[in-house]
């Protein structure tokens, strides 16, 4: 439904949490613009502020109510301003949000994000808060209008919801049971994105490798990867995130045999202790996890593997923690998102005995981070001297303005900071743009990024770069090139996840 609103009413969407929330925020922006709203200028207080929340981290509630409190003076001085709260925390707290922050106008849940424009209009007309929470999905979100933040890389949902019952995780209660899109719908969306200039897609779901459970095809995800390989112009395919219990060899084969599926895998471990994995209701054990990694590397020796790990789950002993360190040593992760366990009300783990003292969790966490940093640095050093193809990104390098570098992602998703000058010199119109592809030689490795400080070996200008340039209002045939260090929104990239967040699982 399209809602008529006053002209030039502005909006801002503030996003917290995982990739699923980031993609949902693209839809919220698309809905609002479809209803006539326009983005607020940087530094301007918007007429409509939408909080897309996460319910995973221990301080999620405090962060939301603190931010709502900061907006209260603006709301009091501008009665026409509207504040909406959606996402997992809204699904959990529902009307409690309006009780604690009565200046909030709209509360909506994870299952009815398409209702936002209508709820805003209803709240404006009736002059009272609108709280609407649905217990099941109304419309698959991918059918909603979407304002993509990137011209060259995009999220594509294959499913929503989760059928697992991990004891630390509140997400299944808030996102619901798994719902799968039909393969044809997914592929049509990918083709449309490629036609618009997108070079890279990330297939998104709470547990992508259980895709197909609704229509009875356990091999559906591997088939979907192979089908993506037939789409002309699609250069990079990624996915996040699989569950080790459902990870099958046909997916490994599809990754290895489909040229545009990247040799990069994010697979949550959570713990290396079989006893703790059982307490978490993670239906795999360390041996199975390591077996998957062994088979992935046998098929793709260059594969970069990352993970999620929780430290200090209730009942975790020093022996359990040592088992986690052992798996980390054997796995040689390129990257790991590591988290200290925190109690989430409503989860089985919240009421378990043997909650670990904070100081013990902190000490273990520091040891894990130190080990993983050492491993990641060692793995990155192996890249020095290698030539890598880098998809130029926007907003990936916070210091690019100061270092006069640009940043992007290699095929294995490693972050690379590089000097944009071409070997032998190049005209100003040949400065790489976000969405272009450069070949660079790695000159230095840090634990979490690579640096290529020599001249770029090669630049390939792409349709994605043209699409990015068109967004800037500059003709794709020329122009002054890219301003280095420009503050902007980046490509879909790994976000630090909290334990139990919707993605990774």
Binding region for [4Fe-4S] cluster: 18, 54, 88, 162, 166, 169
Pairing of strands 38-39, 10-15: parallel
SS3 67: helix
- C-alpha to C-alpha distance for 303 and 128, rounded to whole angstroms: 54
Nearest CA to 239 among 299, 338, 157? 157
Look up residue 152 and give its DSSP letter.
S
CB crowding 118-146: b at 16 or more within 10 Å, else e: bbbbbbbeeeebbbbbeeebeebbbebbb
- Is residue 62 packed enough to be buried (19+ CB in 10 Å), middle (13-18) or exposed (0-12)? exposed
For 107, the enclosing helix (H) or strand (E) is: strand 106-108
Binding-site positions: 18, 54, 88, 162, 166, 169
- C-alpha to C-alpha distance for 50 and 162, rounded to whole angstroms: 25
């Amino acid at each position: 439904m399209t809602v008529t609103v006053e002209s030039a009413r502005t909006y801002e969407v503030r996003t917290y949490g995982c990739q699923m929330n980031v993609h949902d925020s693209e839809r919220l922006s698309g809905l609002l613009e479809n209803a006539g709203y326009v983005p607020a200028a940087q530094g301007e207080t918007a007429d409509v502020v939408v909080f897309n929340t996460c319910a995973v981290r221990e301080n999620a509630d405090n962060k939301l109510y603190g931010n709502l409190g900061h907006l209260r003076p603006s709301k009091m001085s501008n009665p026409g301003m509207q504040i909406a709260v959606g996402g997992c925390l809204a699904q959990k707290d529902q009307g409690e949000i309006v009780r604690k922050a009565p200046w909030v106008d709209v509360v909506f849940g994870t299952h009815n994000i398409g209702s936002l424009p209508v709820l805003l209009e209803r709240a404006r007309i009736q002059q009272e808060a609108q709280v609407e929470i649905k217990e099941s999905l109304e419309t698959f979100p991918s059918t909603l209008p979407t304002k993509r933040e990137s011209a060259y890389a995009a999220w594509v949902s294959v499913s929503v919801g989760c059928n697992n019952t991990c004891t630390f995780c509140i997400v299944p209660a808030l996102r619901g049971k798994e719902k799968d899109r039909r393969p044809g719908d997914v592929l049509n969306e990918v083709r449309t994105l490629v036609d618009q200039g997108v070079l890279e897609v990330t297939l998104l779901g709470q547990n992508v490798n259980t895709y197909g459970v609704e229509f009875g095809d356990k091999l559906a995800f591997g088939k979907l990867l192979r089908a993506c390989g037939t789409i002309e112009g699609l250069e990079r395919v990624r996915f996040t995130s699989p569950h080790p219990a459902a990870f099958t060899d046909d997916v490994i084969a599809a990754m290895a045999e489909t040229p545009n599926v990247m040799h990069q895998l994010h697979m949550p471990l959570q713990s290396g202790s079989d006893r703790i994995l059982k307490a978490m209701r993670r239906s795999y054990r360390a041996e199975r996890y390591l077996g998957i990694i062994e088979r992935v590397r046998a098929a793709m020796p260059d594969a970069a593997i990352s993970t999620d790990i929780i430290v200090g789950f209730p009942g975790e002993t020093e022996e359990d923690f040592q088992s986690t360190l052992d798996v980390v040593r054997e796995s040689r992760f390129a990257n790991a998102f590591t988290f200290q366990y925190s109690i989430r009300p409503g989860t089985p783990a919240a009421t378990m005995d043997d909650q670990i003292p904070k100081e013990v969790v902190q000490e273990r966490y520091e040891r894990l981070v130190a080990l993983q940093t050492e491993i990641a640095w060692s793995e990155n050093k192996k890249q020095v001297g290698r030539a890598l193809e880098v998809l130029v990104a926007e907003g990936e390098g916070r210091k690019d303005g100061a270092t006069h570098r640009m940043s992007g992602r290699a095929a294995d998703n490693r972050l690379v900071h590089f000097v944009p000058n071409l070997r032998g010199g190049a005209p100003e119109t040949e400065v790489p743009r976000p969405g272009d592809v450069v070949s660079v030689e790695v000159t230095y490795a840090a634990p979490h990024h690579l640096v290529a400080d020599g001249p770029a070996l090669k630049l390939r200008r792409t349709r994605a770069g043209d699409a990015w340039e068109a967004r800037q209002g500059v003709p794709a045939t020329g122009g002054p090139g890219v301003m280095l260090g420009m503050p902007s929104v980046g490509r879909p990239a790994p976000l630090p996840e909290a334990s139990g967040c919707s993605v990774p699982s």
